[in-house]
Amino acid sequence: MKKTLVAVAAMAAVSGAMAEVTISGALEVGIANTAAKTSGGTSSSVKSLDDTNGNNVINFTVKEDLGSGMAADVNIGIYPSLDYGTAAGGYQTYMGLSGASFGRIQGGAFATNAFTTILNGDATGAAGQGPLIGIGMNANGDRTGWAGASLFDANQLSYTLPTFVTGLGLNYTKKFGESTTSAGTGDASSYKVSYVSGPVSVAYTSQTGKYSSSLTDKGTVLTGNYDLGMAKVFAGYATLKQGTSNTLSATSYGINVPFNGLTFMWNYATVNGGQATTAITAGTIGQNQTEYGVKYELSKRTSVTYIYSNRNNGLGNATAAYTTGSTNTLNKVFVVHSF
């Protein structure tokens, strides 16, 4: 449910106009136990109460009708934390200009084309350890601008074409790396093609990013889901080539089954080539991840969810958490309230 407030009188005194501000968001509170076991059998675990996937958010949205089919909008997002002393950060903060004849221009911090495409094929909605297909795409951190493990990216400028065919979406996004060490380093660009018609939803994103003056990273993501009524099935496929290295590939499959207010979730994903820190090598074991979950809707705005996730690491990424032969598990139960 969205709440609408009238902007403060001080703003009206300065601008001579009143603006309606829509407030919306969600808060997630739960208990998460993340455990890791090395190939040698050494175990460690961390318990947390805070939201682990960036789902806590408060959005302040203002829209203005400019006439002639044009509109302007501003969204200021806040990421509230349950950790004492941790400041709330910026979250999906952008400005947009749209019109039926020319489409939409948007600039600021918001979800990347890659991440929205990944979620289109994820049965658990990244409620667990995060979609493995996305973590695979996030090799070397955010080196190409892929937001596999994070939800949003800053310094983006996007253009969405007007609707020519019902259900068809076309978008181009440019990410600015803001690097002074080498011209264009950290810059990334992507285009996304999506199609939604009845029970079918398909999305494809292709992205390139400049890692250095001589190396360019390239990746693709293709996902889809189909609503059968009695169940909803998901699938995804992704590739990533870092500079002159070999190509990493990832696949995922999943299903949601609703039953008497409950939704049962299952997701399985693999990455061939592992999660490398320098370059992807050929012939490696890679990673696989299985997730099980159940969600119960207490109301239209409140739900409780349990997720179990198990990840087996092949090549890993040369860190203690993902060394070859190690495993990572997550047990998480949480309540989400949206408003």
The pLDDT, as a whole number, for residue 178 is 75
Predicted confidence band at 4 (pLDDT cuts at 50, 70, 90)? low
Q: HEC profile for the chain?
A: CCEEEECCHHHHHHHCCCCEEEEEEEEEEEEEEEEEECCCCCEEEEEECCCCCCCCEEEEEEEEEEECCEEEEEEEEEECCCCCCCCCEECCCEEEEEECCCEEEEEEEEECHHHHHHHCCCCCCCCCCCCHHHHHHCCCCCCCCCCCCCCEEEEEEEEECCCCCCCEEEEEEEECCCCCCCCCCCCEEEEEEEEEECCEEEEEEEEEEECCCCCEEEEEEEEEEEECCCCEEEEEEEEEEECCCCEEEEEEEEEEEEECCEEEEEEEEEEECCCCCCCCCCCCCCEEEEEEEEEEECCCCEEEEEEEEEEEECCCCCCCCCCCCCEEEEEEEEEEEEC
Tokens 């918001």 -> residue: 110
Q: Is the pLDDT of residue 158 over 70?
A: yes
Quote the longest CA-to-CA distance of the chain: 68
In CATH, the number for domain 28-50+102-338 is: 2.40.160.10
Predicted confidence band at 35 (pLDDT cuts at 50, 70, 90)? confident
Residue 43, judged by CB atoms within 10 A of its CB (0-12, 13-18, 19+), counts as exposed
More confident residue, 147 or 55: 55
> What is the chain's alpha carbon radius of gyration, rounded to the nearest angstrom?
21
The pLDDT, as a whole number, for residue 20 is 87
The pLDDT, as a whole number, for residue 148 is 37
Report the DSSP pairing between strands 94-99 and 70-79.
antiparallel
Domain ranges of the chain: 28-50+102-338
For 181-207, the pLDDT digits (tens) are 666 677 888 899 999 999 999 999 998
Mean pLDDT, to the nearest integer, of 126-150? 48
Q: Which of 45-49, 53-57, 280-284 has the lowest mean pLDDT?
A: 280-284
Tokens 């990572």 -> residue: 328
The pLDDT, as a whole number, for residue 139 is 34
Q: Residue 154: how many CA atoms within 13 Å on its side-chain side? A: 7
More confident residue, 285 or 252: 252
SS3 for 286?
A: coil
Tokens 């349950």 -> residue: 82
Q: What is the mean pLDDT of the chain?
A: 78
Predicted confidence band at 53 (pLDDT cuts at 50, 70, 90)? low
Q: What is the DSSP string of 195-246?
A: EEETTEEEEEEEEEEE-SSS-EEEEEEEEEEEE-SS-EEEEEEEEEEETTSP
The pLDDT, as a whole number, for residue 150 is 47
Q: Is the pLDDT of residue 275 over 50?
A: no
Tokens 């992205």 -> residue: 207
Predicted confidence band at 82 (pLDDT cuts at 50, 70, 90)? confident
Predicted confidence band at 321 (pLDDT cuts at 50, 70, 90)? very low
Q: Is the pLDDT of residue 41 over 90?
A: no
Q: Is the pLDDT of residue 75 over 70?
A: yes
The pLDDT, as a whole number, for residue 151 is 58
Buried-exposed string 73-88: b where 16+ CB fall within 10 A, e elsewhere: bbbbbbbeeeeeeeee
The span from the CA of 49 to the CA of 333, in Å, is 10
The percentage of the chain sitting over the pLDDT mark of 90, rounded to a whole number, equals 34
How many whole angstroms from its chain centre is CA 98?
23
Q: Which of 132-146, 245-259, 262-276 has the lowest mean pLDDT?
A: 132-146
More confident residue, 314 or 135: 314
The percentage of the chain sitting over the pLDDT mark of 70, rounded to a whole number, equals 68
Q: Per this entry, what is the length of the chain?
A: 339
